[in-house]
């Protein structure tokens, strides 16, 4: 009886392997680039035509001998490893010895190469995995690979190639990331005889300038593991978080999450930071051998990596946060980058990215839109700054935590007894000890009962009074919460809440966590619970809504720190003074002084607290320059 199981012919097995290694032209080009980098090339030129079915790559690496040239197209022939231990201590890009054999199996391939000690180079031609020709050639040191008619003998694979625009986009994405990672190597990418990407190889900051443009470079801050963008260059997706491990680009949800948590309260809802992360780790503590494409990595100690990156981001963002503030530029054309590589060229993330890391946080109530910038644009800026006439009814912000009801009563009394006056400075106030303190800024007054105007460092700085106070309360409340000084109050009538089986399970698994944040809960029937105690704070939302928001976090495996953060953020937002409330000069001074002492310049929801307008910009608007 004839055997049903057979050993495949080598040409067939190579074509099957090609399906894993050569998903598309971009994957093939990535393999070529990595071979060039392993050959210590300092210049890599790539030429693409016909949707990527024609590719030529030229490098100035160390080259190959004639014998190596013939061996490189054999399966599992590699110069990178010699035993199993080498697999777990890789310092090179390629190592399997599959790429060239797989590519040769599904294309018409020509490779020429020369090492420095030889007078001439050598060239071989392979069609569909079979060597057709070999000869000596005159060439410079390095290697040149030319691919024609990719997938010519596998029409099914050819059929699944995407449109020319899509394939070119993937190729540009690969070249972009390899160039950014290998910033000491010069890269050129030519598509249909037009150069679309170029780097000089003159270091990381020059490479960032050449790939991403001047606007991004000037808004980056250097930190322990690369560069972090400020609030001026937030993006609509995570496509600008670049993660490189031992100079190899790979996607890591773990590291992306660490970066986002490092920014935490700095991010505006629906926005993501620019981050370029270079993380060096011992090769035996990272596994790049998970997938043939090497797009994914796995760490031996994920918690350690997560904490390491998150802490570094937090420290960088927390140091001189004023650098992270947005500056107003009135003309859109001033934001244009000089880079040839544009945002639309970046490969979009496969994950939904319409919602940001801050999706589940409470929104700051929406107030009247800031009219300042529209007015400036029309040269019709109206100043409505109020300085108090009477000193008897001033609001004292000296208490650590200010009761919202008392604030509102105080402001109501103040409004009734204060005469409003238009003008940039308003009525002069009697001089007091508080105003005699030396400060590095000049208080101009209050605009539209919403903004505090400050003159500092040749800039007009506009502070949102609600967000200033919200940030102060957030920091003070956070200190109390994390020192276990959160109080709860007993309800006269317990709240009955319906829950499903999974919710009930999560609640009783986390009774201690709920207790720590002020909730006392009892079982009450099969699908009900009773809430007897709640956090001692006057929320605008119902306690049921607050409770279910916390429960949702717990069911998403959030720790108690995340739960407390949600409570703190909500309490600080709802306890802060509001837009439209009149402030005394003393109150404004105290808010600004406290904020400067804290040194954090975004609200817990990620919105900027301060907008800066440089005097140079104002002079340009008034055509003085």
Mean pLDDT lowest among 234-238, 251-255, 267-271, 447-451: 267-271
- Note the pTM of the prediction, 2 decimals: 0.61
User: How many other CB atoms are there within 10 angstroms of residue 258's CB atom?
Assistant: 25
Nearest Cα residue to 98 out of 129, 124, 132, 64? 129
The Cα–Cα gap between 103 and 131 comes to 13
Burial category of 177 from C-beta neighbours within 10 Å (exposed 0-12, middle 13-18, buried 19 and up): buried
Poorest-pLDDT segment among 72-86, 235-249, 483-497 = 72-86
Spatial contact of 32 and 24, defined as CB atoms under 8 Å apart: no
Please determine, for residue 32, whether its predicted confidence score (pLDDT) is greater than 60: yes
Higher pLDDT, 436 or 210: 210
Res 291: pLDDT: 64
Q: Residue 266: name the closest of 18, 604, 618 by CA.
A: 604
CATH superfamily of 383-487+536-625: MutL, C-terminal domain, dimerisation subdomain (3.30.1540.20)
**Comparing C-alpha atoms, which of 573, 13, 506 is closest to residue 265?**
573
Those residues whose C-beta lies under 8 Å from the C-beta of residue 308, and which sit 6 or more positions away, are 258
For residue 605, CA distances in Å to 185, 325, 359, 467, 599 come to 40, 14, 10, 10, 16
More reliable by pLDDT, 118 or 10: 118
209-212 contact pairs (CB < 8 A, 24+): 209/338, 209/339, 210/339, 210/340, 211/176, 211/179, 211/180, 211/339, 211/341, 212/274, 212/337, 212/339, 212/341
Give the pairing type, strands 241-245 and 528-535. Answer: unpaired
CA distance 146 to 108: 8
Q: CB of 309 within 8 A of CB of 275?
A: no
- At residue 132 the predicted structure's pLDDT band, cuts being 50, 70 and 90, is very high
Q: pLDDT confidence of 114, banded at 50, 70, 90?
A: very high
Rounded distance between C-alpha atoms, residue 605 and residue 607, angstroms:
6
Residue 175 has a pLDDT of: 97
The length of the chain, given as a count of residues: 625
For domain 10-197, the CATH class is alpha beta
Q: Which residues pair with 469 in a beta bridge?
A: none
4: pLDDT confidence band, cut at 50, 70 and 90?
low
Q: What is the mean pLDDT of the chain?
A: 77
More confidently predicted of 424 and 258 = 258
Most confident of 132-141, 396-405, 472-481: 132-141
H/E element holding 374?
Answer: helix 372-377
607 confidence band (pLDDT: 50, 70, 90): confident
Q: Who wins on pLDDT, 562 or 152? A: 152
**Rounded Cα gap, residues 358 and 387, in angstroms:** 37
In this predicted structure, the answer to whether residue 217 has a pLDDT above a threshold of 50 is yes
Q: Kindly compute the dihedral angle of the four CA atoms of residues 196, 295, 69, 67, in this order, to the nearest 10 degrees.
A: 150
Q: What is the pLDDT of residues 380-413, one digit of tens each?
A: 333 333 333 333 334 444 443 334 344 344 444 4
Distance, in Å, from the CA atom of 99 to the CA atom of 117, rounded to the nearest integer, reads 27
Residue whose tokens read 């105007």: 453
pLDDT surpassing 70 at residue 342:
no
Q: Locate 458 and state its tokens.
A: 């040749």
Segment 57-72 shows an average pLDDT of 93
Buried b (16+ CB within 10 A) or exposed e, 580-598: ebbbbbbbbbbbbebbeee
Helix (H), strand (E), coil (C) string for 427-469: CCCCCCHHHHCCCCCEEEEEECCCEEEEEECCEEEEEEHHHHH
More confident residue, 242 or 525: 242
Tell which phi-psi region holds residue 549, choosing left (phi > 0), alpha (psi between -120 and 50) or beta: alpha
Distance CA(611)–CA(452), nearest Å, equals: 11
Cα 371–chain centre separation: 30
Q: Are the C-beta atoms of residues 99 and 21 closer than 8 Å to each other?
A: yes
What pLDDT score was predicted for residue 564?
66
- What phi and psi values does residue 427 have, to the nearest 5 degrees? -85, 135
DSSP class of 234: -
Q: Which residues of 444-474 are buried (b: 16+ CB within 10 A; e: fewer)?
A: bbbbbbbbbbbebeebbbbbbbbbbbbbbbb
Domain 213-324 has CATH 3.30.230.10: yes
For the chain, domain boundaries = 10-197, 213-324, 383-487+536-625
CA–CA separation, 414 vs 393, rounded Å? 6
Q: Are 563 and 517 in contact (CB under 8 A)?
A: yes
> Residue 136's pLDDT is what?
95
Residue 234: CB atoms within 10 Å: 21
């Amino acid at each position: 009886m004839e055997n049903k199981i057979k050993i495949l012919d080598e040409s067939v097995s190579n074509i099957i392997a090609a399906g894993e290694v050569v998903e598309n032209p971009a994957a093939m080009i990535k393999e070529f680039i990595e071979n060039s980098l392993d050959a210590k090339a300092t210049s890599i030129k790539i030429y693409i035509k016909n949707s990527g079915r024609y590719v030529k790559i030229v490098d100035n690496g160390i080259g190959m001998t004639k014998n190596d040239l013939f061996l490189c197209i054999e399966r599992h022939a590699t110069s990178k490893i010699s035993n199993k231990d080498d697999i777990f201590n890789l310092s090179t890009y390629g190592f399997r010895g599959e790429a060239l054999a797989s590519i040769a199996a599904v294309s018409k391939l020509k490779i020429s190469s020369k090492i420095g000690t030889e007078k001439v180079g050598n060239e071989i031609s392979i069609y569909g995995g079979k060597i057709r020709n070999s000869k000596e050639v005159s060439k410079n040191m390095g290697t040149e690979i030319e691919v024609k008619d990719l997938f010519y003998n596998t029409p099914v694979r050819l059929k699944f190639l995407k449109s020319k625009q899509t394939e070119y986009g993937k190729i540009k994405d690969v070249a972009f990331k390899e160039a950014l990672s290998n910033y000491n190597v010069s890269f050129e990418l030519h598509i249909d005889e037009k150069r679309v990407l170029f780097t000089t190889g003159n270091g990381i900051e020059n490479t960032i300038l050449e790939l991403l443009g001047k606007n991004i470079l000037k808004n980056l801050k250097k930190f322990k593991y690369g560069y972090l963008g400020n609030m001026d260059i937030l993006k609509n997706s995570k496509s600008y978080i670049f993660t490189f491990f031992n100079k190899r680009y790979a996607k890591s949800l773990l590291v992306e999450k660490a970066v986002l948590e490092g920014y935490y309260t700095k991010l505006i809802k629906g926005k993501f930071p620019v981050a370029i992360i270079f993380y060096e780790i011992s090769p035996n503590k990272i596994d790049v051998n998970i997938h043939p494409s090497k797009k994914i990595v796995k760490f031996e100690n994920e918690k350690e990596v997560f904490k390491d990156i998150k802490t570094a981001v937090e420290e960088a963002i927390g140091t001189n946060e004023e650098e992270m503030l947005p500056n107003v530029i009135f003309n859109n054309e001033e934001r244009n980058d000089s880079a040839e590589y544009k945002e639309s060229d970046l490969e979009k993330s496969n994950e939904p990215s319409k919602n940001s890391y801050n999706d589940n946080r409470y929104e700051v109530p929406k107030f009247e839109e800031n009219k300042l910038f529209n007015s400036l644009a029309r040269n019709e800026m109206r100043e409505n700054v109020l300085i108090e006439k009477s000193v008897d009814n001033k609001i004292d912000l000296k208490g650590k935590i200010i009761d919202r009801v008392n604030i509102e009563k105080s402001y109501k009394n103040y409004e009734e007894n204060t005469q409003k006056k238009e003008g940039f400075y308003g009525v002069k106030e009697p001089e007091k000890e508080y105003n005699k303190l030396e400060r590095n800024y000049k208080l101009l007054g209050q605009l539209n009962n919403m903004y505090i105007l400050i003159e500092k460092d040749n800039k007009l700085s506009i502070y949102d009074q609600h967000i200033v106070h919200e940030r102060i309360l957030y920091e003070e409340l956070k200190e109390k919460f994390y020192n276990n000084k959160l109080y709860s109050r007993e309800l006269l009538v317990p709240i009955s809440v319906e829950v499903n089986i999974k919710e009930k399970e999560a609640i009783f698994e986390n009774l201690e966590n709920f207790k720590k944040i002020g909730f006392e809960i009892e079982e009450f029937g099969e699908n009900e619970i009773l809430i007897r105690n709640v956090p001692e704070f006057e929320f605008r939302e119902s306690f049921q809504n607050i409770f279910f928001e916390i429960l949702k976090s717990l069911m998403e495996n959030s720790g108690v720190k995340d739960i407390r953060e949600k409570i703190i953020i909500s309490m600080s937002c709802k306890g802060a003074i509001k837009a439209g409330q009149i402030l005394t000069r003393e109150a404004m001074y105290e808010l600004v002084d406290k904020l400067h002492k804290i040194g954090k310049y975004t609200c817990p929801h990620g919105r900027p607290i301060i907008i800066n307008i440089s005097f140079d910009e104002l002079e340009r608007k008034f055509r003085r320059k």
